[in-house]
Amino acid sequence: GLTSRRGGDRLIAEGHVAVNGVVVRSPATLADPDTDAITVHGRPLPASEPAQYLLLNKPRGYVTTLSDPQGRPVVADLVRAGARLYPVGRLDADVEGALLLTNDGPLTHRLLHPRYALPRVYEAHVQGRVPRADLDRWRRGVLLEDGPAKPAAVEIVESGARASRLRLTFAEGRKHEVKRYCEALGHRVLRLSRIAFGPVVLGALQPGAWRRLTAREVTALRAAVAAPGAPRQ
């Protein structure tokens, strides 16, 4: 509850954290908060807050941060949960949809780690007609400037003369990946929404609204990123 994961790394590297009276400078240092005396700036680490897990339907125009030096609206303005929660990954300001927020740092790290290839499902309104005959081309993948990109699934929801709507599933969180993928295939994205993050589905949640995850959803998230052979809680 003191800072973000990156901020915590910085506090450690700068020598502001001590374990049992010994200053540590490596974020890889192991410590047990139940048995070890951990201090930050000479003060005991506060007791951990109960873990909270929220789903927000992020509206367009909001930045996925807790504060913004440019004064833009941030997702923290929309959530009043009584605890400092952090977004799980990012959505561009002009992208809307499913965004998880939590204070469970270890789970956040796993959810974003490429090792677990957690699927993200998007609905993309793109310019121009995408005929069903083109589906094989959309499923084949393309080469972007930062390497190959290939969706786990693609389907056409609507195909019109001026615009089409597609549902694409990607298992990576690369920057602007969906937009760049569509543009590489000749269709500029007009509107983009994430409708599912792993097993958590946006459903009928309205833009700007949020809800707490159910116990079943939290269990499903943990199971989706459980290490092979590890017990699923």
Catalytic machinery residues: 92
**Residue of 37, 41, 60, 36 whose CA lies nearest to 2:** 41
CA distances to 1, 71, 154, 191 from 160, rounded to whole Å, are 48, 38, 17, 15
Question: How many residues make up the chain in this entry?
Answer: 233
Burial of 202 (0-12, 13-18, 19+ CB in 10 A): buried
Grouping H, G, I as helix, E, B as strand and the rest as coil, residue 138 is: helix
Contacts 24+ apart (CB under 8 A), 150-156: 151/181, 152/119, 156/130, 156/132
